[in-house]
Amino acid sequence: MTLLQARISHWAFWEDRNDHAVLKSGTSGHIAVPIDDMNNANLARSLKPAWRRRLDLYGRAAAEVLGHTICDGDNPHIVFASRHGNIDRTLKLLHQVATNETLSPADFSMSVHNALVGVASINWSITQSHTAISAGNDSLIAALTETLCQLTSEDGPVILCYVDLPLPDIYQDQDPDDISGTALAIRFDQPTATDGKMFWFDPIPDHDPAPMPHRQARAIAACLDASSKTGLHLPGKTGGWIMQSNG
């Protein structure tokens, strides 16, 4: 199979491990510099205040990384992915139903899986299509596959945005011990674009069980930061990719 090619000009990665929230973002030809204390209060400052107030940590983390990959006058396609979506809001709604409380309209509207992309589209005046993906532990790999496929059929850039937070306490036994709050956004441009580093993507067979997506997001960010020529293996339950740059 012919390798798929893309240029990556902008990326951002946010992670909250052991209450230490750090943001790293990079552009072509520039070294990423970590920014500490990127907690809920400091995230998503690029959003208009009216929209920012509607977002919790989940939405602000996603908006923060997404904002680092959107350029002035941009109109990109967006592929948005998450294992569970904003499960904290969903769990809150379920509790309100179980206790016969009035449902919160704000929580209801923002609990929709792709609600954040709707907010982003309004904030940045994006009119192109977006795709929402939830595929369990394959969510990030499925989003990468969708992004690469869209890049072969669309003229403009495609931005992959992945976000997940640790599950609430009631579901905590379903998460691994090293789970972390994670948000990753990558801007994929056509291989003919003049800006950005060229990457090749080679499909690989399926792998069961699929690695946890927060670990894969961490590995992708490390690869983008180092611009390593060594191929990064990104297996998934329904197939995966080897990601490699030209150095």
Query: For 138, phi and psi rounded to 5 degrees?
Result: -90, 10
- What mean pLDDT is reported for the chain? 90
- Cβ contacts of 106 within 8 Å, gap of 6 or more: 54
The average pLDDT across 60-65 equals: 96
Element (H, E) at 202: strand 197-204
Fold observed for domain 4-245? Peroxisomal Thiolase; Chain A, domain 1 (3.40.47)
- Reported as a pLDDT band with limits 50, 70 and 90, residue 1 is low
Give 157-186 pLDDT, tens digit per residue. 999 999 999 998 888 888 888 899 999 999
Secondary structure of residue 105 in the 3-state scheme: helix
- Domain spans of the chain? 4-245
Q: Which two tokens stand for residue 3?
A: 């390798």
The average pLDDT across 2-16 equals: 92
Asked if 183 and 93 count as a contact pair (C-beta separation under 8 A), the reply is no
The pairing of beta strand 4-17 with beta strand 77-81:
unpaired
- Cβ contacts of 112 within 8 Å, gap of 6 or more: 85, 118
Residue 220: pLDDT over 60 = yes
Asked if 190 and 76 count as a contact pair (C-beta separation under 8 A), the reply is no
% residues pLDDT > 90 (the chain): 63
What pLDDT, on a 0 to 100 scale, did the predictor assign at position 176? 87
**Count of Cβ atoms closer than 10 Å to residue 244 Cβ:** 18
Give 69-107 pLDDT, tens digit per residue. 999 888 999 999 999 999 999 888 998 899 998 888 888
Dihedral sign, Cα of residue 208, residue 209, residue 211, residue 213: positive
- Reported as a pLDDT band with limits 50, 70 and 90, residue 123 is very high
Fill in the amino acid letter for 197. K
The pairing of beta strand 158-164 with beta strand 197-204:
unpaired
Residue 62: pLDDT over 90 = yes
